[in-house]
Amino acid sequence: MSDKPLQDDELFLRLAQETETAPRVERAPSRVKAKTYSALIRRQEQSGPLLNLAETRRAGHGLCVFESLWEHMPLGASAKCFNCCSICHARVLGEKVEPPPIYWGHCPYVAFKKT
């Protein structure tokens, strides 16, 4: 029985030596992530209104600079559910430029270039 662990160790060592390392996994370009995110948000809007910005903030999600401005505008309740990204230049840059030259906090299109 004392020979068994040694045989297992030798077997696993030999398997490890004969195993090729997996090739580095390519990540999707930030442009593809941005386009996918935009499409998912448009799809989500079709099923009903998005959370309003105050609810989004309370749920622990940060708001970008434009969403913060929009949140403080004297607008009706339905306007507070508006997807600011749909008209933001960051979305356009995120979908067209690799990597996008945008840097402000809590912007999903900025986050896509980091992952």
36-57: per-residue pLDDT in tens? 999 999 998 898 888 888 888 8
Q: Report CA 72 to chain centroid distance, whole Å.
A: 26
Report the pLDDT value the prediction gives residue 1, as an integer from 0 to 100: 47
Computed on alpha carbons and rounded to an integer, the radius of gyration of the chain in Å comes to: 24
- Range with lowest mean pLDDT among 39-43, 93-97, 111-115: 111-115
Nearest to 90 by CA among 29, 27, 37: 37
- 87 DSSP assignment: G
Is residue 3's pLDDT more than 60?
no
Distance from C-alpha of 87 to C-alpha of 95, rounded to nearest angstrom: 13
Q: Is the pTM of this model over 0.85?
A: no
